[in-house]
Amino acid sequence: MNKKLIDGNNEFVELMNSNKNFKDYNDNLITNGQHPYALVITCSDSRVIPEVIFNKTLGELFVIRTAGNVINDGELATIEYAIEHLKIKEIIVLGHTYCGAIHAAIHKESGKYIDKILDKIKANIKVETDEVKASRINAEKVALYIKEMFPNYDGLVIPLIYNLKTNKVE
């Protein structure tokens, strides 16, 4: 394993064990289980980390990350789990600016496996070539798809965009 990852985990362990509040909080999560209040479906982009963007800690968010925040069967199963078992009442579809998957879809890039994602994005954005607008459209269409797939869900499904330049969620 990469030394940066090992060192990072060691620092995390030290932080969690050196602060009584963190240790108690973590012990509570283990004892009482997770009770996140929101599901965030976002891109796999390494610059888009919901826990950092929303300044949240362990156990607060249930997160699905997939390139272009595309929904397939595995993601649907995870959403179902969040709704049925975790009783989550807010689902955020978090697109972002400068998205590589959106760029690839607009510029008709392809690959053996990535096409499964790009085809869904292309169907969502149609002929839109402005990447920011396309990211918004894609997030909106994914949110609508979730509502269609879970018609009895009584919580909120909200499409948002994270702007990498301003760090604001809009």
Give the chain's mean pLDDT.
96
Average pLDDT of span 30-45: 96
Average pLDDT of span 22-44: 92
Range with the poorest average pLDDT among 25-29, 83-87, 166-170:
25-29
Summarised one tens digit per residue, pLDDT across range 98-136 is 999 999 999 999 999 999 999 999 999 999 999 999 999
Average pLDDT of span 13-42: 90
Confidence (pTM): 0.92
Give the whole-angstrom CA distance, residue 43 versus residue 70.
8
- What is the model's pLDDT at position 132? 97
Residues near 68 by beta carbon (within 8 Å), at least 6 away in sequence: 43, 99, 101, 102, 105, 117, 118, 120, 121, 138
Average pLDDT of span 69-75: 96
What are the structural domain ranges in the chain? 1-33, 34-162
- What is the model's pLDDT at position 22? 81
- What is the model's pLDDT at position 25? 86
- What is the model's pLDDT at position 23? 84
- What is the model's pLDDT at position 147? 98
DSSP H helices, 33-127, are 50-53, 73-84, 100-106, 115-125
Domain 34-162 fold is Beta-carbonic Anhydrase; Chain A (3.40.1050)
Is the distance from CB of 55 to CB of 27 less than 8 angstroms? no
